[in-house]
Each structure stands twice: as structure tokens, then as C-alpha cells.
Amino acid sequence: MESIYNKTIEELEEYFINKGEKKFKALQVFSWLYEKRVTSYQEMTNIKKDLLKEVEKDFSIDSVAIVNVERDKDVCKYLFKLKDGEHVEAVLMNHDYGNSLCVSSQVGCNMGCKFCESGRRKKVRNLETSEMVLQILAIEKDIGKRISHVVVMGIGEPFDNYENLIKFISIINHPKGIALGSRHITVSTCGIVPKIDAFSHFPLQVNLAISLHAPNNEIRNQIMPINKVYPLEKLIPSIKNYIQKTNRRVTFEYILLKNVNDSDACAHALAHLIRGMNCYVNLIPYNETNNIDFKRTNSIQINRFYDILKKENINVTKRREFGSKISAACGQLRSKKEES
């Protein structure tokens, strides 16, 4: 049976209209699910019982089970068990601007980035829209607080699950849904060019982050197989087109890997590649994992890389480090669970 959390407000309106009901019933259901956070249809007291019985026959009210939580200061890493027994992760980070949640979009990932624990274990399936939404609801219930920002940057490539991603954004942005402002939602992609082009037409002003991680094709081909399909000659024009159409600033995520992409020459090449674009670079210290040989760039070279970009007039930040005492690498907690 399909989960009620798979449905956007528009889909529920169509559902009720097809049953001869007024479409405002969809708003009532959304309010019960997302504002009042009920977990059964019997709690929806302003909707006719006969109608609720029909809805209950058509849609389940699901949940995801939290099976493990690792905590370290301002970060909590959650492991969820899904209804088919698969596992995904979400990471809650406490910032001075609020609680930011990084959610997963797939079970595993087929992009195969060499430095990524998620990519080491291949894609099993896409997450349903409901399974993405329920990560937020479960963690908000656990902490007793609202999530202020959502980043789709956990296990999986979001643009490889595009339709469910778009529905997920629509639900969490809707005023009667989770009511997150569009500018508090960020989607990260490793560079699937056709989906970047499609996303430029998406009406909500959602933030886009590009997992770049290299300043040229030679290095990017070595660490990110997607670059052999969509090399920088295709990716960069697509991003420029996105910026022109949306007037939105793009983030370039750049994980610094020791002796791979962290040299002074790489910093200068990166500045040359993106100069003139409405963007900024987010430098990310690498979270090492026992299953992958890449090493973290030392702090001196991270600062040197940062300084070069600044001198080249590139907007750049260094990501605050989270989770140094827990399974910080994306997919690491799932791997520990399923390989134990």
C-alpha cells in the first residue's frame, strides 16, 4: 500500500475530487499530518469517518525506525531501518542559525565517487518521497524541535531520483506541510547535466550545490566517474545557464584530498575555472574511513588553499568540521550496520 506521505497537496486534491469531495480535504489531511503530526486516521476528527475509511484503504500512514544514533557535540548521526529492511542515514547539525538536517535520497549510490563510502556500496533502490519526508519527521520528534534547514546531500545522488526529489521539496516547502522556506533547502548533485538543466525550470528558489572536487578533467576523471559522461566542458556551461535562468548563487563543494586535489596549482586552476560566476566554494576537510585509502589534507594546506582562492577573489568558506568522534563519512554508519 502506498504511503500518504508520498502525496503532494496537488495529488491529494485530485484524489479527493475524484471521490466527489471538495479539494480542501487535502489541506485538512496535510494539516493533521504535518502540523499536528498525528499517526492514525482516527485522530483526524474534522473529516467524515466514512471518507477516512476510504483513505485508510488507499494509503498507509508510515514511519521509519531509528535503529542507531551517534552523537558528538553539535552533531547527531541517525541510522534508519526502512520497511524492506534496508538502511539509510541522516545527519543533524546544530548551527548558530538553527538545526540543519542532511537527508538521504537513495539506498546506496551508483555514482561511484572514489572517496565516498556511499559510492563504495552500489545503489539498491531509490527512496520513495515518503521515506525522505519521514527522516525529517522522525528526527523532529526525537529532538522535540523543528528543523530549520534541509540539505539533500546524504546517501545517494538526488538527481538520480529526480521525480521523488521534486515531490519531497514540494511537500516540505508547502505552508501546510513542513513549511520550510525554499531558500532553506539545498540539493547537491555530482553533476548530472540534463537534470541541472531541468532543475533550472523548477519554480521554487531552492539552493543548488555542485560536488566538484577537482579543477580539471584529469583529476575529476580519476575520482568521479560521472565526469567521463559529463566532463567540465559540459558541466560548467550547464551551471552558468542555471545561474542565468534562476539568478541564484551556486555552491561548489570541494573535498580536499591529500596529494590528489589540494595543491597550490589546483587552487589556482579552480579559481580560473569558476571566475566570474555567481558562486562560492565550500572547502570540506575529508572524513577518513577504513574502507577507502584517501587521506585528509592537513590544516596548514587547507588554510593555504583557502588563502589562494581569497587572493584570486573567489568567495570561499571552510566547512566547520562535525562528527570527528563518530562515523562521520557519508554512508559509514550504514556500512558498519550491514557489514557487521
Residue 239 to residue 277: CA distance in whole angstroms: 9
Q: What is the DSSP letter of 128?
A: P
If asked whether residues 15 and 147 sit together in one domain, one would say no
Written as one string, the DSSP assignment of 22-89 is -THHHHHHHIIIIIS--SSGGG-TTS-HHHHHHHHHHEE----EEEEEEEETTEEEEEEE-TTS-EEE
Q: Is the pLDDT confidence value at 328 over 60?
A: no
User: 48 with 19: CB under 8 angstroms?
Assistant: no
If asked whether residues 6 and 98 sit together in one domain, one would say no
If asked whether residues 184 and 104 sit together in one domain, one would say yes
Q: Where are the alpha helices (DSSP H) in the chain?
A: 9-18, 24-30, 49-58, 117-120, 129-143, 162-173, 193-199, 217-223, 226-229, 232-246, 264-274, 299-311, 332-339
If asked whether residues 190 and 48 sit together in one domain, one would say no
| Structural domain boundaries enclosing 177 | 65-339
If asked whether residues 121 and 268 sit together in one domain, one would say yes
| Domain end call among 60, 79, 104 | 60
If asked whether residues 252 and 234 sit together in one domain, one would say yes
Q: Is the pLDDT confidence value at 97 over 90?
A: no
- Asked if 330 is an active-site residue, the reply is yes
If asked whether residues 228 and 79 sit together in one domain, one would say yes
If asked whether residues 74 and 13 sit together in one domain, one would say no
Q: What is the mean pLDDT of residues 87-104?
A: 94
pLDDT at 31: 97
pLDDT at 95: 85
Write down the catalytic residue from 13, 70, 76, 89.
89
CA angle 47, 48, 52 (to 5 degrees): 80
Q: Which amino acid is at 25?
A: K
Confidence of residue 339 (pLDDT cuts 50, 70, 90): very low
pLDDT at 320: 74
Residue 102 to residue 261: CA distance in whole angstroms: 25
- Asked if 190 is an active-site residue, the reply is no
| pTM listed for this prediction | 0.93
pLDDT, tens only, 246-293: 999 999 999 999 999 999 999 999 999 999 999 999 999 998 887 788
If asked whether residues 96 and 212 sit together in one domain, one would say yes
If asked whether residues 24 and 107 sit together in one domain, one would say no
If asked whether residues 20 and 120 sit together in one domain, one would say no
- In CATH, what number is assigned to the domain containing residue 12? 1.10.150.530
Total tally of structural domains belonging to the chain: 2
Written as one string, the DSSP assignment of 251-264 is EEEEEEBTTTT-SH
Q: What is the mean pLDDT of residues 322-333?
A: 51
pLDDT at 198: 98
Q: What are phi and psi of 103, to 5 degrees?
A: -110, 160
Write down the catalytic residue from 102, 109, 116, 330.
330
Other Cβ atoms less than 10 A from the Cβ of 251: the count is 19
pLDDT at 321: 66
Q: What is the mean pLDDT of residues 185-202?
A: 98
| Domain end call among 60, 87, 103 | 60
| Domain end call among 36, 60, 84 | 60
Confidence of residue 331 (pLDDT cuts 50, 70, 90): very low
Q: Is the pLDDT confidence value at 186 over 80?
A: yes
If asked whether residues 165 and 243 sit together in one domain, one would say yes
**Average model confidence (pLDDT) across the chain:** 93
